[in-house]
């Protein structure tokens, strides 16, 4: 059986067709009103963007969802969790500061911000899921305690997962710090033949696991590596890398299991919106926003996180790739843009495994509004 995924293109001529109105219409078309009862705490899970990036979801779009939730009598709050890496959102205070800098003020979004895992990322609830990798997962208290959730996800590329959408947003984004560590659990390694001893990776490591060896090349203290992938993001030569054969498949499975835990207990109370706008090569955790790899496409909404990511993946791949971006191969319509950037990734494994564990279905019916 397929799940409906509602789609609105970015084309806009006249007020009724503005993207802002389309967010509202998508909320209604996808039946999100059924998810929310009066007095429900409604978590609007969003990524506020790392300082330095600018491709995160426009707060004006978040405002439309907030207003819809208010109209239904719900109590909306915008939420995310602290990061594992040492960036601009590594504790709740810094995180809220960046959110305000990026325009997520009360005046704009009409709702408070609540960092769901507390000041230091430790406030969580164990949610029993009884799956292959985890018996229980550590979900941020503010997400676990919410009655309903609308996950607004910026669909983009990811250096290890291939792409990130609804599944990744609720998996990594709803986990406590301990939960993020459980999901990453991948150690990077130095590929000496590729390392050019530039030293760029060393200062970005949040745990001091990286240093220079006698030959000037990077070396990793594996005991202290938390698998945040920050070093991979700054290395242009694959001098630091992961074991793609052994590590990537379980990483994506752990993501899917955490996504499963984030929505467990909220059956019928969760909606998903993916924004296929500013489709950058990297997730919004990096402190920059590289040029988009395909033109802006639109916004999709569904109650099924697997179906919405499957549809988003297909919509991106149908586009002609943008030359001058990180995408240098697979530019033709129909070709896999994410593998075009990172040939070793297979983002679809998150979809396959998420379907296998009962999070949703990859079969979707795309309904344009």
**238 within 8 A of 284, measured Cβ to Cβ:** no
Contact segment (CB under 6 A) with ligand SF4 among 21-29, 59-67, 190-198, 288-296 equals 190-198
Question: By C-alpha distance, which of 235, 245, 243 is closest to 286?
Answer: 235
SS3 for 62? helix
Helices 348-356 and 166-173: crossing angle in degrees, nearest 10, is 70
Applying CB under 6 A, the site for ligand SF4 has a residue count of: 29
Question: Is residue 257 part of the contact set for ligand SF4 (CB under 6 A)?
Answer: no
x/- map, 303-342, ligand SF4, by CB under 6 A: ----------------------------------------
| Footprint (CB under 6 A) of ligand SF4, residues 103-122 | none
Contact segment (CB under 6 A) with ligand SF4 among 91-99, 108-116, 223-231, 344-352 equals 223-231
Question: Is residue 201 part of the contact set for ligand SF4 (CB under 6 A)?
Answer: yes
> C-beta of 347: minimal distance to ligand SF4 in Å?
20
Contact segment (CB under 6 A) with ligand SF4 among 9-17, 90-98, 200-208, 347-355 equals 200-208
The residue number with the shortest CB distance to ligand SF4 is: 239
Beta bridge partners of 8: 299
Helices 348-356 and 305-317: crossing angle in degrees, nearest 10, is 160
Question: Is residue 159 part of the contact set for ligand SF4 (CB under 6 A)?
Answer: no
SS3 for 79? strand
Question: Is residue 156 part of the contact set for ligand SF4 (CB under 6 A)?
Answer: no
Question: Is residue 189 part of the contact set for ligand SF4 (CB under 6 A)?
Answer: no
Question: Is residue 227 part of the contact set for ligand SF4 (CB under 6 A)?
Answer: yes
DSSP letters along 101-156, please?
A: HTT--HHHHSS-EEETT-TTS--EEEEE---SS-SEEEEEHHHHS-SEEEEEEE-E
Rounded to the nearest 10°, the torsion over CA 129, 132, 134, 140 is -60
Contact segment (CB under 6 A) with ligand SF4 among 237-245, 283-291, 323-331, 355-363 equals 237-245
Burial class (CB in 10 A: 0-12, 13-18, 19+), 368: exposed
Question: Is residue 87 part of the contact set for ligand SF4 (CB under 6 A)?
Answer: no
Residues that bind ligand SF4 (CB under 6 A): 188, 195-201, 204-207, 209-210, 217-218, 220, 225-231, 234-235, 237, 239-240
């Amino acid at each position: 059986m397929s799940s409906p995924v509602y789609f609105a293109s970015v084309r806009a001529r006249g007020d009724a067709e503005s993207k802002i109105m389309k967010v509202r219409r998508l909320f209604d078309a996808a039946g999100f009103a059924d998810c929310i009862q009066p007095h429900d705490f409604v978590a609007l899970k969003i990524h506020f963007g790392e300082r330095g990036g600018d491709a995160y979801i426009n707060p004006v779009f978040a405002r439309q969802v907030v207003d819809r939730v208010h109209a239904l009598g719900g109590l909306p709050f915008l939420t995310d969790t602290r990061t594992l890496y040492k960036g601009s959102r590594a504790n709740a205070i810094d995180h809220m500061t960046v959110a305000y800098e990026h325009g997520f003020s009360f005046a704009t979004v009409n709702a408070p911000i609540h960092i769901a895992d507390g000041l230091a990322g430790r406030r969580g609830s164990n949610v029993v899921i009884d799956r292959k990798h985890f018996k229980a997962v550590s979900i941020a208290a503010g997400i676990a305690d919410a009655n309903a959730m609308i996950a607004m996800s910026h669909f983009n590329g990811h250096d290890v997962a291939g792409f990130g959408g609804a599944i990744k947003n609720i998996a990594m984004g709803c986990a406590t710090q301990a939960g993020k560590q459980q999901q990453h659990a991948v150690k990077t390694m130095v590929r000496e033949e590729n390392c050019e001893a530039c030293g760029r990776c060393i200062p970005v490591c949040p745990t001091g696991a990286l240093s220079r060896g006698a030959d000037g090349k990077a070396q990793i203290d594996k005991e202290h590596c938390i698998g945040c992938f920050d070093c991979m993001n700054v290395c242009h030569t694959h001098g630091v890398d992961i074991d793609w054969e052994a590590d990537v498949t379980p990483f994506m499975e752990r993501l899917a299991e955490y996504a499963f835990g984030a929505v467990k207990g909220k059956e019928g109370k969760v909606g998903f919106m993916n924004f296929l706008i500013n489709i950058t090569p990297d997730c919004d955790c990096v402190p920059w926003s590289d040029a988009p790899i395909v033109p802006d496409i639109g916004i999709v909404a569904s109650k099924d996180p697997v179906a919405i990511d499957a549809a988003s993946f297909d919509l991106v791949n149908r586009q002609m790739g943008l030359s001058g971006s990180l995408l240098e191969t697979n530019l033709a319509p129909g070709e896999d843009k994410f593998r075009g950037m990172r040939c070793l990734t297979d983002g679809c494994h998150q979809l396959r495994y998420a379907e296998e564990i009962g999070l949703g279905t990859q079969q979707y019916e795309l309904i344009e509004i």
